[in-house]
Amino acid sequence: MTQYLISFNDEWVAPHTPEQLQEKSVAGMTVIRDMEEAGVFVFGDGGLDASSVLCHVEARAGEPAFTDGPYAESKEHLGGFTVVEVADDEAARYWAGRLAVALDWPQEVRRFPAPIGAAADRAAHTTKEK
């Protein structure tokens, strides 16, 4: 199984009234519940926006350097995300499509790379079982 990030940026979402956002929240949560029932939901948060940035951290001379508050060098800000663990790209696309339809705004899908050494670990584990 592979983990995928399904996400959207704030800028992809048209302005909504509070009532419309509530409706979208209910629709999105229905999909999340379906993900949970299917056993593919790992983690997610749909309530992010540029104002929720705590700080920006950079390495300077081998030490962390913190800048407080929204660090708005970018025009795009992560609005929300869901991590799913599914068998393949097609399954990840399916869940992203469900969210896109429920929320009526675009979603982006990214595959997390396998952890370093994961293939070797799997091979060693399989060999031990035989």
- pLDDT tens for each residue of 83-105: 999 999 999 999 999 999 999 99
More confident residue, 102 or 125: 102
CA nearest neighbour of 28 among 80, 78, 87? 80
- Whole-model pTM? 0.76
The span from the CA of 106 to the CA of 14, in Å, is: 11
Per residue in 36-88, pLDDT (tens digit) is: 999 999 999 877 766 667 777 889 999 999 888 765 566 667 788 999 999 99
The span from the CA of 115 to the CA of 45, in Å, is: 23
**CB burial readout 95-105, b (16+ within 10 A) else e:** bbebbbebbeb
Q: Which fold has domain 2-115?
A: Alpha-Beta Plaits (3.30.70)
Per residue in 1-34, pLDDT (tens digit) is: 999 999 988 888 888 899 999 999 999 999 999 9
3-state secondary structure 72-98: CCCCCCEEEEEEEEECCHHHHHHHHHH
Let me know: does 23 contact 102? Beta carbons within 8 Å: no
